[in-house]
Structure 1
């Protein structure tokens, strides 16, 4: 028996002592407990799955079906079980069951380790919508891409660690599922079409170029997107429009696989972001200070978003009043003034920001972007760097959305409750309003 991955070991995590695993509960409550058993049966059909190519087609199809089922459930097209319609978490836990099955699968034919890893890669991408993005070819269509993230900070893996952390959802993931395929009719007679995908909270998949290979084809050519917006979970009670994104990603903060990249000099291999060579047009290794650049900047319509008061009709679950969440132009960042010394310097730390924030100096190295230096910042950096490389006219930037995981006291044994749902639904609603503002500027 193959040992489950670090992430897959959380399939056994429980909320309270002697409880049923949280993953089991949420998959039963959503009707998504059907995907893993069907996937296992299909993989083991030796009459159909006779080669690597057969298995590759099956894995891709199964991942796409899981993604589409999650989109359909959130958008109300096919709802099974008692879990609220707008929940995003069943997709994450169903995927983990399927990746574990694939890891432990013993095919009837010879499968190399490289081929097995390729199948895992295909399942990861397919189940996050990365193969499903398609736009109409109509010249009157305005194309927008939005990304979200998996849940993260889920706690220590293993059945011996009861913890409510495992209940965490990611509002950016809920937004992506809610907005996939949505359209906006615009005053000029055109139609804006949104396609979405999810990203893992996993350094390794970013370093393999998962994000670039997903969106780069949509940044080029006649049918390119007009906007590409990355989203992730940020802080409490506010949306942050992140102004700068940094190339540095060493945080001392573990990803979902348990990997920690210690804070160190930017020139140390693990500390810096390296987009794929075929995307950049040159090999970024060994480290060179400005290949690629240390900072990128948002091109989202900040003034329009701030002026729109997108939360005015939304009830804030914390205050119970209309007004939703604050939307803040977030301009802080940090640098290594000397790229070969660990000393850092902070800029634009005040909120709200100065009218003209101080921009990064050309000779400094990035230590934090406006959204920090974890994977949220990394998704924003890679997205905006692609814009700079391929099509500077594209509106690209990152939106940090408020934290949604808030439960009523005493509900430690509950997989969901009214407060948790109110946070998620209000965040999704206001994010949709913000996206609508961006669309109107295209």
Structure 2
């Protein structure tokens, strides 16, 4: 069998050749998509107008990443599907191929496009073009709302790495997650170093202390609705059950945090602040239970990390300092959400009600809370779990520049330190 890089390169070449071929094929593909059908607010950003003198950023990033053929391939495949079940198989294949290719490109095993390989934005916008087309797919047969939701889930889970987290036997198993870019309303160029780190970490295998450690990674959406639907639990749950063949030894959620520091969060809280997500949606409230998975009752107000944080701190990684963030904010018992909020580094008080964990009360905090709430409910107290906030990025001053040397170097350094911290945690697991 040919090496993976050669096989993926061949898939890219053949896919592009098939899609860019005939005008008839392109016309047929366009006829099965109805652009008048509604899309999400997040998907509507694809058509963000170019700044004067600039390019349309989403399309430019897809092109510079070398992914132009992928949305066309998905659309053409959908147009040839003759049933919902056939469409689901197509979307699982298309999503998995997109994820594998993005990982191989990020890790330098194949060469694609002109933008540097650490960039996570081409994958984000390519996947979003795919979900938009699935939402606007208009075949000649009826598709119910539930069926379309199932198709979107099949594609997204495959294209986010969630369906490909197998480890194999005889290895220490580390499962991590990153996030999509977010806060795009004011900065359409945004990258997310946690999602970019996930692409570098997926499939990473190394030897340490006579053991083989293998890392698998997924990327989460920045949407409250995605979390409500159980994406976090669906990603981590199969690796937390007691008799699972692929049971993890360590789980870690990762997100972008404050500039210039890598914080290991000591606590996650049971409250979501409701700040707008990528769909401009959000409402404050307690973190809701997840479908399909057991939930503790009552739910804990705070969950403490069990990551080997001292080993991560002592690993001596750089360029950013690494610290355990002990901060929490809480309401006194029975006063949520109208009472005064107290913030402390001394841990939760007796009966205190969570207002925020160390990492706040946005989706990063909730990714730690949900994954570890499930870990505890499944009795997986022998599995280490927690959250790492990594340094935020600073974008080129010129708004027409998608990437420059300083931005690329800063992001690469942050990603490489994240990889080193995950390896330190895996070694200590």
> Is the contact made by 2:168 and 2:246 (CA closer than 8 Å) also made in structure 1?
no
Q: 2:24 maps to what in 1?
A: none
Q: 2:199 maps to what in 1?
A: 177
TM-score, structure 2 normalization? 0.88
Q: 1:217 maps to what in 2?
A: 238
> Aligned-pair distance for 1:228?
0.3
Q: Distance in 2 between matches of 1:36 and 1:144?
A: 31
Q: 1:69 maps to what in 2?
A: 101
> Aligned-pair distance for 1:27?
0.9
Q: 1:79 maps to what in 2?
A: 111
CA shift digits 1:152-171 (9 cap, x unpaired)? 0001xxxxxxx6x0000000
Q: 1:434 maps to what in 2?
A: 421
> Is the contact made by 1:212 and 1:275 (CA closer than 8 Å) also made in structure 2?
no
Q: 1:143 maps to what in 2?
A: 173
Give ranges in structure 1 of 5+ residues lacking alignment: 156-162, 263-270, 283-289, 312-323, 349-356
Q: 2:346 maps to what in 1?
A: 358
SS in 2 for 1:230: strand
SS in 1 for 2:111: coil
Q: 1:228 maps to what in 2?
A: 251
Which residues in structure 2 correspond to 1:240-319 (within 5 Å)?
240-251=263-274, 253-262=275-284, 271-276=285-290, 278-280=292-294, 291-311=298-318
SS in 2 for 1:41: helix
CA shift digits 1:122-171 (9 cap, x unpaired)? 2222111111111112xx3110001000000001xxxxxxx6x0000000
> Is the contact made by 1:169 and 1:405 (CA closer than 8 Å) also made in structure 2?
no
> Aligned-pair distance for 1:91?
0.8
> Aligned-pair distance for 1:273?
1.0
Question: Which stretch has the larger CA shift, 13-22 or 210-219?
Answer: 13-22
Task: Give the paired residue count.
Answer: 390
Which residues in structure 2 correspond to 1:6-17 (within 5 Å)?
6-14=41-49, 16-17=51-52
> Aligned-pair distance for 1:57?
0.6
Q: 2:329 maps to what in 1?
A: 334
TM-score, structure 1 normalization? 0.85
Q: Distance in 2 between matches of 1:273 and 1:400?
A: 20
> Aligned-pair distance for 1:18?
5.3
Give ranges in structure 2 of 5+ residues lacking alignment: 1-35
> Is the contact made by 2:43 and 2:128 (CA closer than 8 Å) also made in structure 1?
yes
Q: How has the CA–CA distance of structure 1 residues 281 and 23 changed in structure 2, closer, same or farther, with 3 Å as cutoff?
A: closer
CA shift digits 1:65-97 (9 cap, x unpaired)? 111111011011122221001111111100111
Q: CA RMSD in A?
A: 1.5
Q: Distance in 2 between matches of 1:141 and 1:54?
A: 36
Q: Distance in 1 between matches of 2:405 and 2:389?
A: 23
Q: 1:402 maps to what in 2?
A: 391
CA shift digits 1:379-402 (9 cap, x unpaired)? 010122122122001110000000
Which residues in structure 2 correspond to 1:20-31 (within 5 Å)?
20-31=55-66
Q: How has the CA–CA distance of structure 1 residues 98 and 278 changed in structure 2, closer, same or farther, with 3 Å as cutoff?
A: closer
SS in 2 for 1:432: helix
Q: 1:19 maps to what in 2?
A: 54
Q: 1:379 maps to what in 2?
A: 367
1:125 aligned to 2:157?
yes
> Aligned-pair distance for 1:15?
5.1
